[in-house]
Structure 1
């Protein structure tokens, strides 16, 4: 298990909350946004619960493509062992300067999602039940006296 050392957790949460996310289903990129419902995605991939997870750049610190790809292969192996439906996905900042591949997963139990996110050093994941807005789950304690972005939950990882 990795311990995250984030200089400014609130700033990181704000960046994740405004990031652009998409899942690719049948060669069609379907957008995901924190705080908005993912109706197109949910129509294509029926499930009770959805999540976005990546193994790239733990704690938002850049790593080599080779290291990121190796971590991604390990994540895929664990997702496949759990038998969940997965689709290629990505996240990027609004300017397109920071881009990370990841996975949209359907019906991954919450405890497995959080365990994998912590194992792969992630500071946050997207997680939401069908029909509800996409939520950002930050895997660290909420900073004191800081206004949290809407649709963001803080989970001490």
Structure 2
């Protein structure tokens, strides 16, 4: 498991919560937003539980294309080992200046999701149950001065 060293976890959580997420299903890009239900996705690809996870740019530090591709290959192998159904997905900032590939995962238990995210050095993941709003789980302790953000929860690393 990688240790996360972040300058401002509150700003990072706000950026993750404001990011635009999407999943590609049969050529269609279906949007996902923190705090909003994902009714179109859930109708198109019905599952009990959903999550978004990436292996790119651990600890939100830029890595080379080659390093990110290698990390993604390792993540795909781990997902195959676990038998996790998945679809290609991505996250991007609202201005479109930054885009990061990842995976929309189906029915992965929360504990397994958190362990994978920590294994791949991620500071946060999306996670929700069918019919509920998409939520952001930060894998960091909540800073004392961090404002409360709707649909964002902070998890203390073990």
How far off is 1:37 after superposition? 0.3
Gaps of 5+ in 1: none
Q: Distance in 2 between matches of 1:97 and 1:123?
A: 20
Match of 1:73 in 2: 73
**Runs of 4+ with >6 A deviation:** none
Q: Distance in 2 between matches of 1:131 and 1:103?
A: 20
The within-5 A match list for 1:47-126 is 47-126=47-126
Give the secondary structure class of the aligned counterpart of 1:69. helix
How far off is 1:128 after superposition? 0.2
Deviations 1:64-118 (A, max 9, x none): 0000000000000111111111000000000111110000001011111000000
> Does structure 2 retain, via aligned residues, the 8 Å contact 1:10–1:148?
no
Match of 1:29 in 2: 29
Gaps of 5+ in 2: none
How far off is 1:22 after superposition? 0.1
Give the secondary structure class of the aligned counterpart of 1:156. coil
Using the size of structure 1 for normalisation, the TM-score is: 0.98
Residue 16 (str. 1) matches residue 16 (str. 2) = yes
Q: Distance in 2 between matches of 1:123 and 1:51?
A: 14
> Does structure 2 retain, via aligned residues, the 8 Å contact 1:54–1:101?
yes
Q: Distance in 2 between matches of 1:80 and 1:42?
A: 22
Match of 1:4 in 2: 4
Structure 1 vs Structure 2 CA RMSD: 0.7
Residue-pair matches, total: 157
How far off is 1:148 after superposition? 2.5
